[in-house]
Amino acid sequence: MPQNINTTSDLIKFIKDRDPEQTEFHQAVEEVFMSISSILDKDEEALQTALRMVEPERSIIFRVPWIDDNGKIQINRGYRVQFSSTLGPYKGGLRFTDNVNLSIVKFLGFEQTFKNALTGLPLGSGKGGSDFSPKGKSDNEVMRFCQSFMTELYRHIGPNTDVPAGDIGVGGREIGYLFGQYKRISDSFSGVLTGKGEDFGGSAIRPEATGYGVVFYLEEMLKSEDEDLKGKRVLVSGSGNVAQYTVEKLLQKGAVPVTMSDSNGYLYFENGISKEDLKSIMELKNEKRGRLKDFKSNNAKYHDGKKPWSEKAEIAAPCATQNEIEEKDAKRLKESGVKYIVEGANMPSTPEAVHFFLKNDFYFGPAKAANLGGVACSLFEMSQNSIRLQWTRNDVEEKLQQVMKNCYDRCRKAAESIGEPKNLLAGANLSAFKKSFQGYDCARSCVNWRLLNHAGSDGIWG
């Protein structure tokens, strides 16, 4: 243990002083550890484990040269942060956007540690990507980039070592290019990537899994309040994979999603998004690679340069990107009548927004719990690859729904143990930390388990 780290606040300060530029990573660490500081401040071994958890086992940074359609050489930077193999092989997505840097990849990998622990499945954590954006690139340019990226990455991954998947900017097209290059180099067909097409080793509903999981988690939140989704208006941000399938499942459950957005603005549907509207948006975004301002419908009004959080609704599902909801947006959500927040994107709410939600009686479903459906389905895909069998769509969806229910139950139970039954954020962090803590051999052999099992009179691990 470094000198002068005796409390959670000391640990946070140490992390910030060591890497002052990694603001997104600092935010993720502070949100988790401050919510469980009552544990960390009581036990030195727990605090020491927290220190180990914030340092990735391995951080890989590499050059990615590729040739554009004009024959010019372009250079991007690639990342793979293998955060923790304590509970299983490294598992987490690849993100291709122009703002990717080491801080963002580390924050995503750290969050993945807790998310994967909450699944209850044997998964470690990792994350990766590049500052390359597929937007505006031809299929051939994306293919050449993906092939170059995998030419370096392949030596660091494997079906029992590290299994990447997709994330923002990495969909079925990119996964196909990456997997094809891996097969070419390694001369093997293995479950080294998830999110593959069903025709070449993928799982049913893998593209839908994150969005569907968000809705399954939301259902459990509503059930605990003796409510259901039918007829409830929902503000959804984003228009990528997670947002699309969140809307699809909301429609199947009888809810009324009324918005979708992209980085330029949002669409508002007074009478709710229809199945036909969603189909057209999916074609626009997935095939034409277009923007929502180009969506033509008499049912929708486009709001340029704005966020959807001022529209009237009971539920908000931020499914776009990190820090999209600021405190001012949280206040607008309260004014709009929103009572439930379920996060589909990774860390979409700023710390100030989260604080506002918790202090103003919102029922808040944090991302690390609500959006773990994708990684859970990735484990299902890995399992199917290992046994060379393919499960039906109904089989996978039933398994996914059970994983999300179990996750909610873990979060709720941990939250109740500290006397805050609706604080699912603290519950998720407590439950995931306990699972990860138990995986560290040193901690397992050294810690005073009586203290951790009972945590004094608080029963915090109950």
Q: How far is CA 256 from the centre of its chain?
A: 24
Cα 28 to Cα 387: distance, rounded to the nearest angstrom: 36
Give, to the nearest 10 degrees, the angle between helix 351-359 and helix 327-335.
30
Q: What is the DSSP string of 223-238?
A: HHTT--STT-EEEEE-
Strand locations in 97-176 (E): 125-130, 162-165
Active site residue 127: yes
Cβ-based neighbour number of residue 193 at 10 Å: 26
* DSSP-derived secondary structure letter, 292: G
Identify the active-site residue in 91, 106, 115, 127: 127
Enumerate residues 6+ apart whose C-beta is below 8 A from 3: none
C-alpha gyration radius of the chain: 21
Tokens encoding 147: 């092939």
In order of 73, 84, 346, the CA distances from 121 in angstroms are: 42, 14, 20
Q: How far is CA 245 from the centre of its chain?
A: 14
Cα 24 to Cα 346: distance, rounded to the nearest angstrom: 11
Write b or e for each residue in 256-295: b if 16 or more Cβ atoms lie within 10 A of its Cβ, otherwise e.
bbbbbbbeebbbbbeebbeeebbeebbebbbeeeebbeeb
* Residue 451, helix vs strand vs coil: helix
Q: Tokens 């036909």 label which residue?
A: 276
Residue among 112, 26, 50, 35 nearest 323 (CA): 26
Asked if residue 304 lies in contact with residue 328, where contact means CB atoms within 8 angstroms, the answer is: no
The residue type at 180: G
Q: Tokens 């067909």 label which residue?
A: 189
* DSSP-derived secondary structure letter, 90: E
Q: How far is CA 60 from the centre of its chain?
A: 21
Q: Which helix (H) or strand (E) holds 181?
A: helix 172-186
Residue among 158, 173, 162, 103 nearest 131 (CA): 103
Residues acting as catalytic residues: 127
